[in-house]
Structure 1
Amino acid sequence: MEFKNVVFNAARDGKLRRLKVFLDHRPKEEVNKLVTARTNGATPLVLSCRNGHHEVVQYLVDRCEANVEQAGSVTFDGETIEGAPPLWCAAAAGHLEIVKLLVKSGANVNSTTKTNSTPLRAACFDGHYEIVKYLVEHNADIEVANRHGHTCLMIACYKGHFKIARYLIEIGADVNRKSVKGNTALHDCAESGSLEIMKLLIQSGARIDVDAYGMTPLLAASVTGHLHIVEHLTGQRDMVGKQERIDALELLGATFVDKKRDMLGALTLWKRAMEERYLDGVLVIPKALVSSPISAYENTLEVESVSALEEIISDPDSMRMQALLVRERILGPAHPDTSYYIRYRGAVYADMGHFERCITLWMYALDMQQKILEPLSPMTQSSLLSFAELFSFMMSEGGRSRGQVPFANLAGGGREGAAIEREEGGGRSSPPPVSFCDIMTVFQRAVREVKAGQVALEGGEGKGGDSTYFNRTIVILLHLVCLFTKLVPHLPDKQVFEVKQAVYNFVNVGARGRGGATALHLACTKESSSVGRYPICVFPSVPAIQLLLECGADPNAIDNDGNTPLHTAAASKPVKQVVVQTLLDAGAHFDLVNSEGKPFFNIMKGQPLHEIANCVRHTSLRCLSARSVRRHELSTAGLPRTLELFVEQH
């Protein structure tokens, strides 16, 4: 281990002399073993390429015969890249001479990371033009896309690297190529605000197309607030129709309200859109308004005239409601930005102390998400988590005992990369008590999400990260269970019964998280404490465990490794005696063994069993008989299967 670290640190830090002193005299087999060893997922060659140590790279490749294709893990801008080949690392970091050295040594110019990113794409990302040109001249494929379907041209457009984009277009890059979600290079220019590249793309035959959400580049620019892009595209009368111009101006106005907090700018844009709807004073393109007012928006209706617009400019709250109505009408409920801004607006109200308005808007967004999105959507999960964090804050002493929580941050989970500053507007007052109806509604919605997710996973419909989302949704439910336990002492008997019935329904779903863990397993581990950015409940939680047990949770349930909740509790250091005692009092067998043949007390290093529980009190005749059968290796043939399993677990 010490030798490996010496080699790794010398390569990482560019200490060639030290590397030579240490490796030159060693046998070839030992050298090979040392230069292929990994530290934190990276090899010496990967780190020296990443850090630009040309002489070290040359020594490792020529003298030590390091494999130029051996991939490793590296970090760029705080993000860990898995399976990055040495050439990818050098290209991403902008080390041209090392790139040349590796290519001349036989490195594959089209090798990829685990996300299918090539060295060429890495160079395009950070604008390393000379490396891009060199790799292309040595047969790099410009059309290889990453796992999201994003090509080298797309990333160059998004990052605003004009010279690289022009070069790729000149050598034949497909300007109309679509990603997995249907966006094109034009969409990337619109989102990043790269007008010059957009003009170049259009001159090169790029078409205005829609992505998977029905968004054109024009609408994408409106959502991100790039006025210059919108002005340019709306000026292309042969490419953009009248309705598209109206939608873009109205949507940009909504962005000015919510993202830029520019009410006058929004009014100007909405007036321009309104004027486009009229011809010689006659309305020719009416708005497709909602059939009935939306209570979450306080029954506000969209204005239909310039005079009505001018009336609401003095009322910021009315302008904000208009922005929500405009966005939902144009983008539709399925678009991530629709629910994101509803949630953000609610969070701003919470920051101002208007908790009821926040909850009303968040409920509306959650209802929208569960009706439209697939089960276990990260957006839906984020909404459920935000509710749990909000309820936790409202239930904390004084509402401020844990400091000023920026609720605008709790909105999370919307369009990736959407960053909105908190609005100013009044100090936050102490929150009102949590409504039993509100927390019960959210809990039931979360149970519904778990049920739907379980059906999808069992039916083979689950995708990549769904099992992780499923586990997190169960953990969010556990935090809501924990919050229930804080409410129960203050509830009338009827509502206490409703709580227990709801928790019973959750337990009855039989949902299992990561590794086959039941809700009771998860309630017994401290890992369940961390589910978001803000603390909610601390696990293991005895009140939550007691409520789960009372509502039918099996204290002897086993996960995929044969661990019972007692095993899980024993793995949380230090072991809480009250947790173990609670499980034992509920009928947990202290002598059940897991797949490794270990009872829970064998996992408690440094804590004798007698300090945790009274073994005699919790030993049954059944357990003694089962242990005797196992100890004397007696045959279990002829026993009922359930009894046979019971014996095997002892």
Structure 2
Amino acid sequence: MDSPSVKDRIFQAVRNGSTEELRQLFSDKETILANLSEKDDDERTPLLVAIKEKQFEIIDFLVKTIKDNINIEGNVRSQNIRKMSLFSWSKVDVDMFSIGPPEKDKEFTQTFVCPSSDTEIIRDIANQISVLKLMEYLIDLDYDDVSWFEFVTNSFITSSMPRPEKIIALELMGAAFVIKELLSEVVWEEHTICVRGLQCWEKAFELRNSITNGRLPIPKILHPLSDVARKAIGDVIEVTVPLQLKEMQEHLTYRDSPSMAFAQALLVILRTFGQRDIEHSKPNYFHLKTLLEYGKHIPDDGSIRLINVCLLILEHLNNYNGNDSPKCLQIFVEGFLLYSDVIVRLEKNPVNSTERREELTFTNLLAAIKFGSIIVTKLMFHPPPISIQIQDNCYSVVQRTYALIITVFKLHRPDRGEIERLNQVLSGYFRIEKRRKGFTSFLHMAVERFLETSIDDELMIAVEVIQLFIDNGADPRIIDCDGKTPLHLLAECCSPDCKDVFYCVFQAVLEGGGHLDQVTADGVTVLKIL
């Protein structure tokens, strides 16, 4: 029997999710791009197969391999942006070219010629995958060089994706250029990258307004913003005509702040993803990442704006499941931690502070607690293998969620109705938590913080919260990543000097279902520790 060819082995490795096998197959730099361009019996490239089968590690590996091996010419087109291919998308006259699939009874004077074989790798995928998904997989705002943005934009332009999709591609790439400058630690002369983003938007307007050979214009329809989005961005309105865009570009001198362009980028992204159909309504990493980075750059005096940016991120949490990109879950974690940071900051404001009074309401704190419990649930049920990062994220979110619950009791002393609402959130969470082990539970965290507390008032609140957890179904037998139950943690700190309240907590956990003879992975029982 003949051994499988390199091509067959590549596609088998993609389907099996084996990055190590692909790394070996791509060891020859001379053949990497040819291997990436191989097609299976269904005319699909390795990257397209990985996307279709949601092999996220493989997608990341293949995209990084493309980035590391595409042909970037050595000559510099400007001080800041390297030329990527034999032509630049910004020079294209859209009225002279066929944009998208052939249009019936319409003749065009020119057709696109692919500038290099490298461009075909992304171009051919762009014909079969939505732009929204491609932005999620191809664009990394943190680490990508702007030359990669140029390459991707050229690839989109040369593709045969439909005209409406190509408009969206140009608008989103424009937003990516603009936000890239926001994230850059370098002060770009004349805001070169930001201007490049505006040029993308200008080209999108040309494509929208083209009426050559019977084309119909495609007007930009603004998306109504929610109250949360409006509080996050302010009263900025998205530009709808090229003249407004030209005026914005004229203001982008070396001394002027590009903040207006940053707000426009966010509006473009909110509109584009807000108008998507149900099929594409799942959380999208590019979408969430842009919101997160925008939030991180809001100054300390913009607490209300930042809270609402975090809410824009977290409102997508319920639509996330294990079939979505795990990078989205990381954004939810970071968004929640950012949210809780703002709450901690507001808590330190004077009691009569307007921001503190308006934002630290019981309803807002309960919403944050609910977000935290949902994120922990998603992390606990993350598909294996469970990485150290997942465990660390889980611990951080449990820690912050517990702190929010403590804040509720410190600031509000909730009434009976509010306690019922909190009970509903906690009991729902604890029913799910019982099905997993090996993570720090809410009860573990409550016991840890109780043992670290020395101030009497805070000690009594900690005791109250521990009892609240037990009453709502927290399982004292659940083990953490070290195989310990909450009783093990208490037993390790037991001494003749312990206060009476310590023994009250120990008794409460024991009566809640804890076992003195439950063993750790090392065979240590609570009784043995005592």
- Partner amino acid for 1:594? Q
CA contact (8 A) 1:521 1:564 kept: yes
Q: 2:470 maps to what in 1?
A: 553
Q: Does the 8 Å CA contact 1:190/1:218 hold for their aligned counterparts?
A: no
SS for the counterpart of 2:470 is coil
In the alignment, structure 1 segments of 5+ residues that lack a partner are: 1-108, 111-134, 399-430, 530-540, 605-650
1:277 aligned onto 2:208: yes
Equivalent residue for 1:290? 223
Query: Which residue does the alignment assign to 1:42?
Result: none
Equivalent runs, 1:86-97 vs 2, <5 Å: none
- Counterpart of 1:260? 181
Alpha-carbon distance, 1:341 to partner: 1.0
- Aligned mates of 1:521, 1:184 — CA distance in 2: 35
Structure 1 residue 193: Cα displacement:
7.8
CA contact (8 A) 2:440 2:479 kept: yes
Counterpart residue number, 2:516: 592
Residues 151-206 of structure 1, C-alpha deviations (whole Å, 9 max, x = no match): 8778998x9x8524157479999981222437599855765582469933567998
Deviations 1:14-37 (A, max 9, x none): xxxxxxxxxxxxxxxxxxxxxxxx
Match for 1:357 among 305, 310, 313? 305
- Which residue, 338, 349, 360 being the options, matches 1:386? 338
Q: Which letter maps to 2:177?
A: F
1:551 CA displacement: 1.8
Deviation, 1:342, is 0.9
| Counterpart contact for 2:376–2:397, Cα < 8 Å | no
Distance 2:346 2:497 in 1: 28
Do residues 435 (structure 1) and 360 (structure 2) align?
yes
Structure 1 residue 356 displacement after superposition? 0.9
Is the alpha carbon distance of 1:445 and 1:307 closer, same or farther for their aligned partners in structure 2, counting shifts above 3 Å? Answer: same
Residue in 2 that maps onto 1:208? 125
The aligned length equals 417
Match of 1:524 in 2: 447
**CA deviation after TM superposition for structure 1 residue 325, in Å:** 2.5
Deviates more, 1:186-195 or 1:291-300: 186-195
Which residue of structure 2 aligns with residue 69 of structure 1? none
What does the per-residue CA deviation read over 1:520-578, in whole Å, with 9 as the maximum and x for residues that have no partner?
Answer: 2343247999xxxxxxxxxxx95664132342516983236996532232346999935
Instruction: Look up the equivalent residue of 1:524 and give its one-letter code.
Output: V
Post-superposition offset of 1:363: 0.5
**Counterparts of 2:197 and 2:206 in 1: how far apart (Å)?**
14
Equivalences for residues 176-575 of structure 1 within 5 A: 176-177=45-46, 178-179=49-50, 180-181=53-54, 194-195=70-71, 199-201=116-118, 207-209=124-126, 210-211=128-129, 215-216=133-134, 220=138, 224=144, 225=146, 226-230=148-152, 232-234=154-156, 236=158, 239-261=160-182, 262-279=193-210, 284-291=217-224, 294-295=229-230, 296-298=232-234, 300-313=236-249, 314=251, 316-330=258-272, 334-349=283-298, 351-373=299-321, 377-395=329-347, 435-436=360-361, 437-448=363-374, 463-464=383-384, 473=394, 476-486=397-407, 488-491=409-412, 494=415, 498=418, 501-502=421-422, 505-507=425-427, 509-510=429-430, 511-512=433-434, 513-515=436-438, 519-525=442-448, 542=459, 545-551=462-468, 553=470, 557-559=476-478, 565-571=486-492
Once the 2 structures are TM-superposed, how far is the Cα of residue 231 of structure 1 from its aligned partner? 5.2
In the TM superposition, 1:66-215 aligns within 5 A as 141-145=9-13, 148=17, 162-165=29-32, 168=35, 176-177=45-46, 178-179=49-50, 180-181=53-54, 194-195=70-71, 199-201=116-118, 207-209=124-126, 210-211=128-129, 215=133
Query: Per-residue deviation at 1:358?
Result: 0.5
Distance 2:515 2:22 in 1: 62
Shift of 1:443: 0.9
Q: Percent identity at matched positions?
A: 16
| SS across alignment from 2:288 | helix
**How far apart, CA to CA, are the structure 2 residues paired with 1:312 and 1:257?**
13
- For 1:476-514, what per-residue CA distance to the aligned partner results, in whole angstroms no more than 9, with x for missing partners? 2453333442453443654x9626751574156422352
The equivalent residue for 1:577 is 498
Q: Contact 2:379–2:394 at 8 Å: present in 1 too?
A: no
Would the aligned equivalents of 2:314 and 2:335 in 1 still touch at CA under 8 Å? yes
Call closer, same or farther: CA 1:312–1:222 in 2, change over 3 Å: farther
Task: Look up the equivalent residue of 2:306 and give its one-letter code.
Answer: C
Using structure 2 for the length normalisation, give the TM-score.
0.60
Distance 1:145 1:397, change over 3 A: farther
Q: Structure 2 CA distance, aligned partners of 1:365 and 1:484?
A: 21
Deviation for aligned residue 1:260: 2.0
Q: Which moved more, 1:333-342 or 1:368-377?
A: 368-377
Given that 1:144 and 1:151 are in contact with CA atoms closer than 8 Å, whether structure 2 keeps it comes out as: no
Contact 1:221/1:229 (8 A) holds in 2: no
Q: Aligned partners of 2:310 and 2:260: how far apart in 1?
A: 18
Cα separation, partners in 2 of 1:435 and 1:193, compared to 1, 3 Å: farther
Partner of 2:94: none
Structure 1 residue 278: Cα displacement: 1.5
Structure 1 SS opposite 2:116: helix
**2:313 aligned partner, one-letter code:** A
Contact 2:476 2:509 in 1 (8 A): no
Q: Is the 8 A contact 1:249 1:272 kept in 2?
A: yes
User: 1:250·1:326 contact (CA, 8 Å) conserved in 2?
Assistant: yes
Which whole-Å deviations, capped at 9, do the CAs of 1:249-304 have from their partners, x for residues lacking one? 22221112211234323222211221221125997122353255642433644321
Report which of the two structures shows the higher radius of gyration computed on alpha carbons: 1
CA offsets per residue over residues 318-376 of structure 1, 9 Å max, x none?
Answer: 32222123224445553111011112211211x44311101011111101232455699
Letter in 1 for 2:124: R
